[in-house]
Amino acid sequence: MDDVAQTMGISKRTIYELYDKKEDLLFEVVVKHFKQRMDRMEQAVSHCSNVMEILLEVYHMKVSNFKETNPLFFTEMIRYPQVKKFLDEQNNLMRDSSYGFIQRGVEEGYFRADLNYQMAVLQFDAMGEYIMQKELYRQYSIEDIFRNLVFVSLRGLCTDKGIKAIDEMLFQ
């Protein structure tokens, strides 16, 4: 709270008049930031004409957001149950919405129709948890993580058309 007060140029007493504890302030900031990110993502995605354009847009936004986030946040958030619960709930909602996205990709001919996408989504969840748990972001750039883990796995879900689109995205 000292750092927050100093950065904002206000006293800790003022902060504690508004928030009973650090977790309350952190929770409010996380919720507001998440909503802003979702609004920006919806706006950006609304201009996309297919799932591969959406993937590229989301990739750029994730990389940008990650670079703006202090790595300490990722290790600290699990210490605050209210914040962790919110982030877990949002992750569950994103997972549920991913099935519609995948179905659209199948219909557009980018994703294979012969796969069990519930298992694929579980794989991506496990990969994300592993990346965070092992703090790979401290060892590798977020671009390298996406290129070598996420996009390699994603290519396995794609048709030839999808693979070509991913390769064009990565090497443009």
| For residues 87-101, average pLDDT | 90
Q: With contact defined as beta carbons under 8 Å apart, do 83 and 22 qualify?
A: no
More confidently predicted of 9 and 61? 61
Quote helix, strand, coil % in the chain, to nearest 5. Answer: 80, 0, 20
Q: Which residues pair with 158 in a beta bridge?
A: 111
At residue 7, does pLDDT exceed 80?
Answer: no
Residue % of the chain over a pLDDT of 90? 46
pLDDT digits (tens, 9 = 90+) for 61-76: 888 888 888 878 877 8
Backbone angles phi, psi at 52, to 5 degrees: -70, -35
Measured in whole angstroms, the distance separating CA 56 from the mean position of its chain's CA atoms is: 13
CATH code of domain 2-170? 1.10.357.10
Q: Could you state, in order of their start, the residue ranges of all structural domains in the chain? A: 2-170
pLDDT of amino acid 60: 87
pLDDT digits (tens, 9 = 90+) for 124-170: 999 998 998 899 999 999 999 998 999 999 999 999 999 999 999 87
pTM given for the model: 0.81
